[in-house]
Structure 1
Amino acid sequence: MTRSAVVFAACLLLAGCGDGPLGAAEGASSVPADAPAGAAPGPDYAGDFDLAGTEPFWVGRVREGGLTLDRMEGGAVTLSNPGVRIDGEQGVWDAEAGAPTGGQGHRLVFRLTPQPCSDGMSDRVFTHAAEVWLDGTTFKGCAARPEDLARQARP
């Protein structure tokens, strides 16, 4: 037993040699690298999203070049994409365009919440619930990245 204790003590002494853990090479820093901030990374809303809703039927798209809401019976509205704002776990796009000469201005807001969602009309499972506001009218539905929806469509 004493021989085991001597071997264990020798290992501890050897591990303590040098400037760093386990005798790091000369010139190596023994100061640990900065740890990442304590906050967990936020939700990822980068890239494209497709939105859909029923009663009334509508579809929406988040693309780098713009936000589009097509109300099927009310025509499509496309505004420049202002970028996403993170609000807790939700992603919010809030776009507004003034009225062109003789036309009507619009405010379009997309709010996505990460949670499983079904549109009630198809077998697709979306990754986000969607709420859309257009000029004071609210539409509710679901959203997902186009590649997630394409994977579900494959046999």
Structure 2
Amino acid sequence: MKKLIFISLLIFSITSCKKCDPTNAIGGIVIEDAIVRVIGYEEGENFITESTDFDKLIEVSFDGGINYKPVDFSKYSVMSLQTTASCSSGYYRAVVANKSQQTVNYTVTITECPTCQNTSTINNWVLTKIVPNFYVESYNIVRQ
């Protein structure tokens, strides 16, 4: 009888709890392990291919945020897309460039967990492989 109760409780706990995983990941041409920092507040959608495109200092770290240096726009581009989500959320940030159509798309997919009621607004800055400045940019936010 004890085994039957234990098995019933185990099955109930497995089937009744849907786990939420608020992890972060990247895709497309986003540079892994790059942390972008913008000196001065800037919100919204941004596609930056040259330092003169933007009136704020944009820096990048490749060592977990220990050291920062200005972005080398001869090698990289920078994009941002502001989102608001619950304080327990995971973000999948993907930038896809289409050479034949001369477009670049930045999509942020948000997985929101119901573990808190507060919200957080972030700018989702990413460093990408270099994208020509004449590409037409587009932005998408997907909620899961």
Q: Give the structure with the higher percent strand.
A: 2
Higher relative contact order (CA 8 A, sep 6+): 2
**TM-score bracket for this pair, using the shorter chain length:** under 0.3
TM-score normalised over the length of structure 1: 0.26
Bigger Rg, which one: 1
